[in-house]
Amino acid sequence: MRLLVLGGTVFLGRHLVDAALARGHEVTLFNRGQTNSELFPDVERLRGDRDGDLSALERGSWDAVVDTSGYVPRVVRASAELLADRVEHYTFVSSVSAYGDFSRVGLSEDDAVEPLAEESEDVAEHYGPLKALCEQAVESVFPGRSLVVRPGIIVGPHDPTDRFTYWPVRSARGGEVLAPGDPNRQVQVIDCRDLAAWMVRLVEDRVTGTLNATGPGQPLTMEGMLAACGAEELTWVSDEFLLEREVGPWMELPLWVSGPEWAGLLSVDISRAVAAGLSFRPIEETARDTLAWASSRELTKAGLAPERESELLREWHDRSG
């Protein structure tokens, strides 16, 4: 199979190329080439820009394309239309953020996506609705020939967001760990290597439609995830206390969300993906490998600063008597 990957090699693109090469496929990589240029020396590289310079894609044909870097519908449509007559199958990597209502547990592929309330290309402000419109652009250009994958939180080695990475790194530092909210609250993450390998198999089989993609296969609680990350001395601090002190959900305390309006964000229905062959390595393996990769990194994008964590724990103990 000749596979074209649109996107960088920082995280998902890197693992996709690895997975495709491992299965003997020929890979072409299209991106700006600004990072990890030393990776994959035998892979064909096309240089360009999704928004403004697609000239390198004007020639050539591929069996399939995987689009890992589409965020603006206009931009996604441009590449899809350019490739429509020279590519058999188009996979678009979307997000569970495309859904419009996270108050319901068990969101499935049949649930409504969030409409864009205003005309905008501000990805930071309208990430979910723009992803949904990107999906629609691909489906309109590749009718009956497209696959939309909606991942949840993608984690593992080379994750640049620090969201999951914070927890194994913090656990390895030892001492009392501030654990947020309800220990039994469900958490969903998917190892990027599992996602990439599964997507390559879907592309091989020319699977079409829409599939949620997160994990693990069995329900995982926040307490179970922190235990898998190696945390031993956990102090559970209530949502109310954290919100009173303006601790930021999601990024300052990764994978912590509070309030009924977010009850479904980390409890998405993945039964169709599992039926389509999605499988999961143990969360302990993901945590161990993430820690090994991150051991020489300074976490800057997510997680409590040590001083802030210590201050919150002191206040919590003082209030608790």
**What is the per-residue pLDDT across 108-166, written as a single tens digit (0 to 9) for each?**
999 999 999 889 999 999 999 999 999 999 999 999 999 999 999 999 999 999 999 99
Of 303, 156, 312, give the one whose Cα is nearest residue 228: 156
Report yes or no on 268 lying in a domain.
Answer: no
Model confidence band, residue 64 (pLDDT cutoffs 50, 70, 90): very high
Claim to verify: residue 48 and residue 116 sit in the same structural domain: yes
Considering the domain architecture, whether residues 184 and 194 belong to the same structural domain is answered as no
Q: Do 231 and 140 fall into the same domain?
A: no
User: Which residue, of 180, 198, 213, is where some domain finishes?
Assistant: 213
For residues 171 and 196, membership in a common domain is answered with no
Could you tell me if 222 and 197 lie in one domain?
A: no
Q: Residue 259 in 3-state DSSP? A: coil
| Shared-domain flag, residues 107 and 7 | yes
Residue 320 pLDDT level (bands cut at 50, 70, 90): confident
**Overall domain count for the chain:** 2
Find, among 101, 88, 90, the residue nearest to 149 by Cα.
90
Cis ω on the peptide bond leading into residue 306 (within 30° of 0)? Answer: no
What's the pLDDT score for residue 38? 84
Tell whether 274 is covered by a domain: no
Backbone angles phi and psi of 151, in degrees to 5 = -75, 155
Is 196 a residue whose pLDDT tops 90? Answer: yes
Two tokens at 56? 């390198």
275 belongs to a structural domain: no
For residue 157, the model assigns a pLDDT of 97
Q: Is residue 201 part of a domain?
A: yes
Ranges of H-type helices in the chain? 12-22, 73-83, 127-141, 166-173, 192-204, 222-228, 239-244, 271-275, 283-294, 306-320
The reply to whether 72 falls in a domain is: yes
Q: Does 179 lie in the same domain as 113?
A: no
173 three-class SS: helix
Q: Which helix (H) or strand (E) holds 32?
A: none
pLDDT of residue 34: 78
91 falls in which pLDDT band (50, 70, 90)? very high
Does residue 277 sit within a domain? Answer: no
The pLDDT of residue 279 is above 80:
yes
CATH classification of the domain holding 81: 3.40.50.720
142 in the same domain as 57: yes
Examine the domain organization and report whether 55 and 83 are in the same domain: yes
* pLDDT band at residue 33 using 50, 70 and 90 as cut-offs: confident
* 221 in a structural domain: yes
- Reply yes or no on whether the pLDDT at 276 is more than 80: yes
Dihedral, CA of residue 196, residue 202, residue 206 and residue 212, to nearest 10: -90
- In this structure, are 202 and 256 located in the same domain? no
**In this predicted model, what pLDDT tens digit does every residue of 249-267 receive, in sequence order?**
999 999 999 999 999 999 9
- For residues 150 and 224, membership in a common domain is answered with no
Q: Are residues 228 and 204 in the same domain?
A: no
Q: Does the structure show a pLDDT above 90 at 297?
A: no
pLDDT at 154: 98
Name the nearest CA neighbour of 97 among 231, 264, 246.
Answer: 264
**Residue 78 carries which side chain, given as an amino acid letter?**
A
Range of the domain at 232: 166-188+217-260+283-320
